[in-house]
């Protein structure tokens, strides 16, 4: 055999190639048109490489999009719970405005009945709720949040409103919309 033989990619290099191929397929075909076989072809690997790592198309897509999103930030700690929550929501909207965020919106819209996508979406929501909850607990320790207000339900309100707007309206909330959520919803819920 003549020519240069390509070494087998493994581990992170192979996964990165698969994620890139998945995102390219999503951009061309959407979630419903995505084929694992075409993803494997684009990534120059066999179908078995995909099926060994992901039990479903939904799991692969969610992981590929999650990998493409900007890295998780360190939670804001300005000393003011209002500013901390606002900064975290701003960062969330920046993620939503990224190409990967737009792909995520499309996947969610096209896969409403897919239980695996719903479960992955719930995991992402739990992360955001946990981050807000941490900010509220810090605020409670500083006396800025009334005792007992730092609960998962209260922490889920702002991220749910931001996500709902993104999915239903097709764009991230404006900064003035984020300020309204913090001032008209979050602060009254946590103030004494």
Mean pLDDT of 67-90: 87
Both structure tokens of 68:
């493409």
Report the predicted TM-score, pTM, of the whole model to 2 decimal places.
0.74
pLDDT digit string, tens, across residues 33-59: 889 999 999 999 999 999 999 888 888
Percentage of residues in the chain having pLDDT higher than 70: 91
**Structure confidence at residue 5 as a pLDDT band (50, 70, 90):** very low
**Structure confidence at residue 67 as a pLDDT band (50, 70, 90):** confident
Q: What pLDDT does residue 191 have?
A: 94
pLDDT digit string, tens, across residues 88-102: 999 989 888 877 777
Whether pLDDT at 4 is above 50: no
Q: How many CB atoms lie within 10 A of CB 75?
A: 14
Q: What pLDDT does residue 1 have?
A: 41
pLDDT digit string, tens, across residues 97-155: 877 777 777 777 767 777 777 777 777 778 889 999 999 999 999 999 999 999 999 99
Q: What pLDDT does residue 2 have?
A: 42
- Whole-angstrom distance, CA of residue 129 vs CA of residue 156: 5
Q: What pLDDT does residue 12 have?
A: 87
Show me where the domains of the chain are located: 11-67, 71-190
Helices marked H in the chain: 11-33, 36-43, 47-53, 57-68, 81-97, 99-110, 115-141, 152-169, 175-181, 187-190
Mean pLDDT of 54-65: 83
Q: What pLDDT does residue 6 have?
A: 52
**Structure confidence at residue 71 as a pLDDT band (50, 70, 90):** low
Fold for the domain defined by 71-190: Tetracycline Repressor; domain 2 (1.10.357)
27 alpha carbon, distance to own chain's centre: 17
Pick the CATH number of 11-67 from 2.170.270.10, 1.20.140.10, 3.50.7.10, 1.10.10.60: 1.10.10.60
């Amino acid at each position: 055999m003549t020519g240069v033989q390509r070494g087998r990619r493994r581990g992170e290099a192979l996964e990165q190639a698969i994620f890139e191929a998945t995102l390219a397929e999503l951009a061309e075909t959407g979630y419903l048109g995505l084929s694992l076989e075409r993803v494997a072809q684009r990534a120059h690997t066999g179908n078995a490489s995909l099926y060994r790592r992901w039990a479903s198309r939904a799991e692969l897509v969610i992981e590929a999009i999650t990998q493409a999103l900007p890295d998780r930030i360190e939670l804001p700690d300005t000393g003011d719970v209002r500013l901390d929550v606002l900064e975290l929501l701003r960062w969330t909207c920046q993620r939503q405005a990224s190409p990967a965020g737009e792909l995520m919106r499309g996947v969610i819209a096209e896969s409403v009945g897919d239980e695996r996508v719903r479960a992955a979406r719930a995991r992402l929501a739990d992360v955001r709720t946990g981050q807000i909850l941490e900010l509220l607990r810090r605020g409670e320790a500083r006396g800025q949040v009334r005792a007992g207000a730092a609960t998962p339900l209260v922490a889920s309100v702002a991220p749910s409103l931001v996500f709902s707007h993104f999915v239903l309206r097709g764009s991230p909330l404006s900064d003035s919309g984020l300020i309204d959520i913090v001032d008209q919803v979050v602060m009254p819920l946590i103030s004494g």
